[in-house]
Chain A
Amino acid sequence: MVFMIAAYAVIWALTFLFIVSIFIRQRHLQRDLELMQQLLEEQQPSGGELR
């Protein structure tokens, strides 16, 4: 029984870690994106939508 529990623990733990890592990366990237857009707006005082 211990092998079955160990296997399922590994499967769930690694899957969960992968999902969490995607969300953490996404949050960091979102923050970086906002920062970059802010910096670019500061560099061009005439303004304009950045896409």
Chain B
Amino acid sequence: MGAAAGLTRGVDGSPIPVWRGVGEAPHPATDRERATVAIVGGGPIGLAMALDLGRRGHRVLLLNRLDFISAGSKAICFAKRSLDIFDRLGVGDAIMGKGVSWNVGKVFWRDGDAPIHQFDMLPVKEQKRPGFINIQQYHVEERLYEAASGLDKIDLRFGHEVIAVEPRSDGVALTVRTSNGEYAVDADWVIACDGCRSPVRTMLGLDFEGRVFEDNFLIADIRMQGERPSERWFWFDPPFNRGQSALMHKQPDNVWRLDFQLGWNIDRDAAVAPENVERYVRGMLGPEAAFEPEWYSIYTFQCRRMEHFVHGRVMFAGDSAHLVSPFGARGCNGGIADIDNLGWKLDLVLRGEAGEHLLATYDYEAIVTADENILNSTRSTDFMTPKSEVSRALRDAVLELARDYPFARPFINSGRLSTAVSYPSSPLNTPDIDRWEGGIAPGSPALDAPLAAGWLLDRLGGRFVILTDGWTGVERTDAEVVDLAAMKTAPLELPCQRYDLLPGSAYLIRPDQYVAARWREPTPERVAQAMRRAKGLPS
């Protein structure tokens, strides 16, 4: 159905629609190759991982089973944090240019035309990127693919399937299959970005524990003309889907994502039949609505994660490592956060500037992120689909009170949408020794702010930065000094305010734009010590 140009079969035998064929990469000339880093999986996470490492100057081999970018209903909501990461990877403008920006979410209840609750995903204004954009996953993949194929360091091999994985103490032996036979790759490092059914995870016999949620949701991606605000609209118990919930999101190309909760005991084939789907669509949009189908499907979901994401020389990122419900947009955004965390760490290890121990902190920090995402996603699901009579009574009480009483509105949980996760207890942080009135604590992501020309996050880039207001007491080869005081023409109030920077103060910011340390009275020794800590080196 929809824009698909053709179909092929997935790992589980289900059909996969094609967005854009890229063709099978040629079978290599030798039957045994070497690679520093092999990435398995060419979805958004694998491609972004390749781009990150390739831009840092490393040779990357990316192996993807399919020889095309697939269509269908997948991720559509990309959070500000992912957009900031896309900027660092050089694809921010290309992705923004296609996406639909939005900040505001509205929640409706029963027959009411006025929202009972409204939230803003960008409470701090004057930042380069919005709270969210909506864009079909294949548009993002296509832009990442274009950028990655433009780098000599990255060898993109679509149509190459990894069929065996043999871990060794100093690397991993992969067996790869193409339509012309098999070949072997001896990789120093393997990053498995091969999705929720991760063949690499299965071949290694690794765990993927979690919880299945007993509920079905109908996705109707439709095309229609007409003006509606680009906001996230969510309904509890609307007249067109009694006792259930519904969601509406605008996408590029006049495509709209409509999502209807259906409950557990349903006939899935009947539910996805066009006449049934269109009954729901007309219920939401009105009987006269003119639209064309783009993609209809039914999904269920699970929350799962691996116990560890790092297994010797094999590391997992994205859905292969963790899985959440779609409410909250924490799936793809969670995976982008993984590669952001892993990229600079593996870079330092490959350069010999850090030991393999640094990768253990990827395991720690990415699991903090995954657990926060799973927790939020599970809570949203329990609010939307109460699992007991008492749970339903509490949920309904929140909605009943919210119309008239502001205190109840924050309780409404239609999905806690993805924002950057902090690591307050990360071993890479240097704890504060001074008094700070706000600012950004160690382990938290840097906040954007306008500069006279451009934006602070763009200025921070992808390496260690010492962000200061006038402190000139340090010179290092492994960190760049960004001195706000030296930007004579800049309006400094906002950046200084956001970081609680006083003259002479300094922050040490990691290559993934997380704060590692900060001082009122920085010294070269303090910086050196915090740098060692942030690189996972013994102090």
Do A and B form a real pair? no
Interface residues of B (CB under 8 A from A): none
Interface residues of A (CB under 8 A from B): none
